[in-house]
Structure formats: C-alpha cells, structure tokens
Amino acid sequence: MEDSQGKNTASRGHRAYDQYLNSFIKLEDKRYLPNDNVIHQLVPLRAAMGTVVMTPTQFHEVHFSPLGTCFYFSEHGVANDPLMMALVEREKLNVTKTISTIVFVSTRDAKGFNVSGYIDFEQSLRRFKTAGSKSHPWADIFAGRRRLEPNHQDLSFITWSNGRVYSNDSDNYKVIPDAVKGLCFSHKGDGSMLCIEKYITEEHPLCKFIESPKHGSTVIYDHQIRRKM
C-alpha cells in the first residue's frame, strides 16, 4: 500500500514538474523541436535572462514538502525587491483573512507586450497551492526567479497591443464597472466597495504605490475585512 502511494506521489510530482517546464515553452519551440523531452532539457538553457529554472529536486521541495513544513511561499526566500517586501508583509494576513489585498501590475509579458491587471492576492496564493502551474508561481516570484504578470484569469486584465479587456469575479470580489465611480470591486465577505479611483485621488492610507525594477509599476490596495456581527 505504501509503495503504491509512493509511486502515485512520484508520478504526480513528475507530471507537475513537466507542467512547470511547459510554462517556459514558446510556440516556436514546438515547431522546431516536436519532442517534449528534448524541449524540456533545453528549457534551462533558453530561459530569459534573469529567470532561474528550478531543478526537479528544488521543485519537489517547494511543491511537495510535507504538510505544515512550509505553509507560506515566502519561506522559500524573498528577493530584495520593494514589491516582494510589501507582499511578504501581507501574505499571512491574507491567508488568515485578516485583510484582503488587490495587486495592480503594469508590466511587459513574456512576448514584450504591455499588459496590466488587478490580482486577488489571496485567491492567487491559494490557487497556486492547489493548481500549481495554472496560477501565478508565487514561490518563484517571491524568490525573484519569475516576474509577477497578470493574465486573463485575474480580476481585470488588459493587453494594450490589441485593446482586449478581460474581467472575472474572484472568490473574494465581484467586479463592478461604474460609469461614474469607475472600476470598483465589491468584497463578497463584508459587502464593502473598493473604488479604485477614490483610493487613488484621495490618497487613501490603504493604497500603496510601488515602482519595482523587476515587476514594473504596481499598486497595492488593502481592504481591512469587517467581521459581520
């Protein structure tokens, strides 16, 4: 029974690492190198400058360590970056539902196009813990191996090259575009309304602007969750 469980864990770990390597692969790679094994071997050599690709051992330690030995992704190391320093302060508070943080990021994607978006920090952390490569790779982001790039699964996402706009309700927020107030997010837990324009124009104390050398122009919006009586 134990041997069977061990084999299942090893198989799951192997598939997860393959998915991790796939996140670095571009369409043209598959055109010229149809063999996945060869492509995976070349990933560390072809990664973008400043990007560190984890070895299978490092990946296993990050994603398959025993329950409780590493609850927070920042425990694997934090890069000396102003955005990462700010998010480390908020990681535990978000996980424990003390505050709810939305992160706005304006940067360039892997293809060099300008993109921007709003990320539900708590949901993104939780998704990465359960879905791995399908969400933002927080262990690598905190450690400085990957950049934080918004995508079409986040609360709001814009690709400026073609003007496409995506929006999605998250587990914590409902997206509410308002003709007068602008983009707003309603917190599902306590019903509070977070209006982006108001946070910015009134110099809200829970709104923090951060210029990150690695991640671009960012804004952190903190919501102090009110407990329902």
What does the pLDDT look like over 187-224, one tens digit per residue? 998 889 988 887 776 667 788 999 999 999 999 999 98
Residues 124 and 54 in one domain: no
CB 80 within 8 A of CB 88: no
45 found inside a domain: yes
Residue 106 is predicted with a pLDDT of 93
pTM, to two decimals: 0.68
Amino acid identity of residue 127, one-letter, is: R
Provide the 8-state DSSP code for 63.
H
Question: Which residues span the domain enclosing 170?
Answer: 73-224
Element (H, E) at 103: strand 99-108
Residue 227's CB: how many other CB atoms inside 10 A? 7
206 found inside a domain: yes
- Burial of 187-204, coded b for 16+ CB within 10 Å and e otherwise, reads beeeeeebbbeebeeeee
Residues 90 and 136 in one domain: yes
Residues near 186 by beta carbon (within 8 Å), at least 6 away in sequence: 173, 174, 176, 192, 193, 194
Residues near 22 by beta carbon (within 8 Å), at least 6 away in sequence: 133
The total domain count for the chain is: 2
Confidence at 67, pLDDT banded by 50, 70, 90: very low
The rounded mean pLDDT for the chain is: 79
Residues 24 and 49 in one domain: yes
229 found inside a domain: no
CA 148 to chain centre: 6
Confidence at 66, pLDDT banded by 50, 70, 90: very low
Residue 157 is predicted with a pLDDT of 94
Residues 152 and 206 in one domain: yes
CB 188 within 8 A of CB 194: no
